[in-house]
A and B are shown apart, each in its own frame.
Chain A
């Protein structure tokens, strides 16, 4: 009996080692997250790597779990990691050297309070945040009346909107959005019925290809605005803006030096991504198709990444 156990254990160990060995020489495993923009960034990079003669595999992965996967080498590369939705696990993994940040992708994200254009008619002072003080009631719902209703990020994404509401004393009640799906559902439903709406949101996001949204403007902008406790009415900067980073697993540079060199050069900007998002989410094109078309038309752009 013990000898049989040993054999099983050995077999298990063996399989584990062969598997890791197979991974090292196998395809480059690129993370695919739940949103279209990231699909595009991943597929553009993947297609280029294939052009360079490398084998690529796309693996679906959640925003937080993928950090664990990148740390243990089951995933190799994600071109578009948002520092604001990867949790505390991301900075920890960077610090411990389990994953490597290769630089920023080049997308410039914007976060803030968004509203549909019809709200500007009900609250003429918009887009300045000063207008919100006077027409909070135009944004009110039954459960927040007479304060306005502000949908914030889900609680697990942090409480930045709530903090800002308290700092600048705007008469709004922050309501945690629960999840991205809930927030989008709320947006769609409110806009369909032209109902009051003010929501913490971000771009680039595919929804901007679908509906018009305007963003509330502040007095000034500041890189570490979130930490700025001196913010008050008349001197508000809103929010710090997130970073979008290219991330690889720790051994990646040694194992795939060519691919690593490419990733260092790889950049995208909002215009490119938004146009492609529009094609996929609005015109119903497949991601692969849209990427192939873009690559065919933009040799000038991608040839710079190959140097």
Chain B
């Protein structure tokens, strides 16, 4: 306690640097334009050269890839709705039983009933082709990454890039390379959907307990047997989570790819409704995507977990299925209503939904504005432009007088002194830094100071290598001239991720402790993840208007799902033996949760945080649709102008932010784990 260690001193120095640079200004505070060397033009030239050289090959691949999709679309388009429904209902029944069969039947009736059968089938066709491909690629890469550390070092950053460079940024290169058509949607959805499969495969295979492997080795299993008969089944729960996430991701991509066009699918309908801000139609059509996702997810889940042999009163299930489908097909030949859904039976509640939304807006105006303004004035604005500018008579009701500023400084210093006296030197040094940055605001913080803060945080959490990586990444942001946009993105995403993590983990814990909560949350999460986020944007927009608050809500709605899901999954899939041991030792439920379950589930929870960050950054692009400024907007400018370089630069910028944040959380998680590990060993 006598000598102040070096770490805290650096924080204090950074606080001083921030304040001094902010007060003096100059090129070290605001990055000068003259120092910018954007790679966008070079990227465009490179892309042109690449297209000239390899374009023909990609086009050939593209037209081959078009076949399965076109085939599936033709088949599903040709079949009467009743036959397709019968096939999927049977799949649901064999997969998991009559409850799923009823769900599938209702889902299919819904698609026909709202009059979007053909469009739904076109989307289903893309997904039916892309999900197996994405799962296969993801699984193969995951196995590779599991066995080879070198492969993993290459795969992991690539995954980060694919998941964080927003899909919008790579739609354009895919379009340029593969040509216009359904292929664009297929390739985009495979690229976007396979990373979760890789992650879950590696995680699942790694988590297989050594005892099981040893048992396998002792009983003389070959390497292949050891993998397929031992590791693979033991990792099944995690693999299925991967399939689930892949299916959801593929579906969410279907709509984004619709921006390109080429197929008259449900995504196109959602986008058209979006352009018209037609809440009713966009919700109705968006829900179709969610239903497809849920049905596919439950069916695959059912087939993967059911007992091997199925028999139906002694007869082969195939014969029964063939008989049922054949029967329905015959009937549909006789009854035209079973072939094409009759127009008279189309149900269109969209106008009523729009009217209801309008009434809520008109009548709830006062409290809607209240929520928005308080969040904006007291939370978002201070973080963005600092207390120095955010506090004004118009926003907070009083002006920031010199006396108040002195009071603020005294408060910050007082808190720091308090922390120092109780022996927490690091905290004592962090408080002044936090005080200075809150006063100045994230967007006003001098770039050099912000770089210093991030690099030092990286050093403290992850060591020299992470610090170097962070410095290199930030150098790119500065040189590429996207620093101001990056800081704006950081601000919006940071708030969203923080809220998501706190709220999401809490919900996940609750869901793991209560079956009812879990059962309620699951369809809600599926809907949030697969219902195109555009759809949620419309009511949010109508309530809260164009601007950052609406964007924040949209990001939260999407990015909270992995935080909930991974927490619940981690808590529910702990080794039973450990829990039993803890229970026999007399742990209360609370002790069991906080002392045993949470520490053990930490890797899964951290993977959830990791995914929350990646999802949040991914959503920035969609958030730009409601009028935010930041990297997301740059991507649209790139896409809107057909400028590959601009979009890609912004995309890489997002990937950099995501990766720095990701590596930091991973490093913190590792340290925590080690600490808990030690504590448990000494228990």
Contact = CB atoms under 8 A, between A and B. Distances in A.
Contacts of A151: 546
A178 B542 contact: no
A67 B63 CA distance: 19
A52 interface: no
Interface stretch (A104-112, A129-137, A184-192, A290-298): A184-192
A178 B258 CA distance: 18
Interface in A22-64: 31-32, 34-35, 59-62, 64
Nearest to A194: B362
B640 to A, nearest CB: 3
B71 to A, nearest CB: 13
B627 A156 contact: no
B261 A66 contact: yes
Contacts of A13: 60
Interface in A171-188: 175-188
A99 interface: no
B542 A61 contact: no
A300 interface: no
Interface string A125-161: 0000000000000000111010000010011110000
A92 B639 CA distance: 15
B263 A189 contact: no
B547 interface: yes
A125 to B, nearest CB: 26
Interface string B272-290: 1011110100000000000
Contacts of B372: 142
A275 interface: no
B275 A184 contact: yes
Interface stretch (A68-76, A251-259, A264-272): A68-76
Given A156-B639, A185-B277, A59 B627 contact: no
Contact of A89 (B56, B628, B642): B642
Contacts of B358: 188-189, 192
Given A67-B642, A151-B546, A156-B640, A188 B277 contact: yes
Interface string B58-85: 0111011001000000000000000000
Contact of A60 (B268, B279, B376, B541): B268
B542 to A, nearest CB: 4
Q: Which of A15, A188, A189: most chain B CB closer than 10 A? A: A189
Contacts of A189: 358, 361, 541-543, 545
A12 B262 contact: no
Interface string B354-379: 00001001100100010011001100
Contacts of B263: 60
A5 interface: no
Given A68-B176, A188-B542, A155 B637 contact: yes
Contacts of B261: 31-32, 59-62, 65-66, 69
A175 B546 contact: yes
Contacts of B547: 143, 175
Contact of B541 (A34, A59, A65, A182): A182
A139 B643 CA distance: 35
A147 B175 CA distance: 42
B276 A87 contact: no
Contacts of B39: none
A77 to B, nearest CB: 14
A72 B640 contact: no
B260 interface: yes
A88 interface: yes
Chain A contact residues (Cβ within 8 angstroms of B): what range?
A: 35 or more
B627 A178 contact: yes
B63 A182 contact: no
Interface in B580-625: 624-625
A12 B61 contact: yes
A181 B627 contact: no
Contact of A35 (B61, B64, B275, B538): B275
A16 B625 contact: no
B641 interface: yes
Q: Which of A15, A66, A185: most chain B CB closer than 10 A? A: A185
A19 B64 CA distance: 10
Q: Which of B176, B179, B184: most chain A CB closer than 10 A? A: B179
A176 B637 CA distance: 12
A16 B626 contact: no
Contact of A181 (B260, B545, B625): B625
B537 A68 contact: no
A182 B625 contact: yes
Interface string A179-215: 1111111111100110100000000001000000000
A193 B362 contact: yes
B542 A155 contact: no
B545 A87 contact: no
Contact of B262 (A60, A143, A185): A60
Q: Which of B59, B175, B372, B546: most chain A CB closer than 10 A? A: B546
A211 to B, nearest CB: 12
Contact of B627 (A72, A89, A177, A193): A177
A183 B626 CA distance: 8
B534 interface: yes
Q: Which of B175, B180, B184, B534: most chain A CB closer than 10 A? A: B180
A181 B180 contact: no
Contact of B180 (A12, A75, A142, A156): A75
B444 interface: no
A208 B469 CA distance: 53
Contact of A184 (B184, B276, B361, B627): B276
Nearest to B274: A181
A181 B60 CA distance: 36
A156 B621 CA distance: 12
B8 interface: no
A179 B626 contact: yes
B633 A15 contact: no
Contacts of B179: 69, 72, 74
Interface in B329-369: 358, 361-362, 365, 369
B379 to A, nearest CB: 13
B180 A65 contact: yes
A26 B56 CA distance: 22
Contact of B642 (A19, A68, A155): A68
Nearest to A199: B546
Contacts of A154: 625, 627, 636, 640
B180 A186 contact: no
A74 B111 CA distance: 30
Interface in B639-654: 639-643
A193 B171 CA distance: 38
Contact of A65 (B175, B624, B628): B175
Given A68-B180, A87-B641, A156-B640, A175 B277 contact: no
B562 to A, nearest CB: 25
Interface string B524-554: 0000000000100110011101110000000
Contacts of B271: 34
B259 interface: yes
20 contacts: A12-B61, A15-B60, A15-B64, A34-B275, A62-B261, A65-B175, A65-B259, A142-B372, A143-B547, A145-B394, A175-B547, A176-B629, A178-B625, A179-B275, A181-B625, A182-B541, A186-B542, A189-B541, A189-B543, A193-B365
Interface of A: 9, 11-13, 15-16, 19, 31-32, 34-35, 59-62, 64-69, 72, 74-75, 85, 87-89, 92, 141-143, 145, 151, 154-157, 175-189, 192-193, 195, 206
Given A189-B541, A189-B542, 19 more contacts: A19-B63, A34-B271, A61-B180, A61-B262, A65-B175, A65-B259, A66-B261, A74-B180, A87-B640, A92-B642, A143-B376, A182-B625, A182-B626, A184-B277, A185-B542, A186-B541, A186-B542, A192-B361, A192-B362
Of all A-B residue pairs in the complex, the 5 with the closest CB atoms, nearest first, are A89-B642, A156-B640, A178-B627, A69-B180, A61-B261
